[in-house]
Amino acid sequence: MNNSLLPAAFADLEAHVAEWALPSFDARMQHRAASSMDNIRRFYDAMQPRAEAALAHLENFPLDALPAAEQRLMHMLYALAQAAMAVEIHGQPKVGHAKLPIAVRVLREPLPV
């Protein structure tokens, strides 16, 4: 049995899975907002150069029935979108004057989650 957290070609990203491959939008958003910029940047710098390859790999599977390792990789991509808010837009982990936890909650996410 294969116990890899991520598809073999993405094994180098496994160190980030526990922290970033979170299964809901709110969990990813709150985690990013509460993280330090250094922490977000470490993940962004590791994941961003692999994002195109990850999308290309995931295109080989049905979107609504990803195997477990592929599902984690998809959640890592979603987390990258969160990291991009800090790195590419705010230049800080969250909206400067926002309080933690963030007051906005997503009750129904885009599907599939």
Q: At what angle do helices 68-84 and 37-47 cross, to 10 degrees?
A: 130
CA distances to 12, 33, 66, 103 from 25, in Å: 24, 12, 18, 14
CB nearer to another protein: give 11 or 55: 55
- CA-wise closest residue to 83 among 32, 31, 20: 32
Q: Could you give the angle at the alpha carbon of 112 between the alpha carbons of 110 and 113, nearest 5°? A: 75
Question: Does 37 engage in binding with another protein (CB under 8 A)?
Answer: no
Q: Which of 55, 65, 71, 72 binds another protein (CB under 8 A)?
A: 55
Q: In whole angstroms, how close is the CB of 20 to another protein at the nearest point? A: 13
Q: What angle do CA 32, 68, 30 make, to 5 degrees?
A: 15
- 73, 57 contact by CB (below 8 A): yes
Q: Does 65 bind another protein (CB under 8 A)?
A: no
Q: How many residues bind another protein (CB under 8 A)?
A: 41
Q: Which is nearer to another protein, 3 or 52 (CB)?
A: 52
> By C-beta, is 39 or 48 nearer to another protein?
48
Chain contacts with another protein (rule: CB under 8 A): 25, 29, 44, 48, 51-52, 55, 58-59, 61, 63, 74, 77-78, 80-85, 87-91, 94-95, 97-99, 102-112
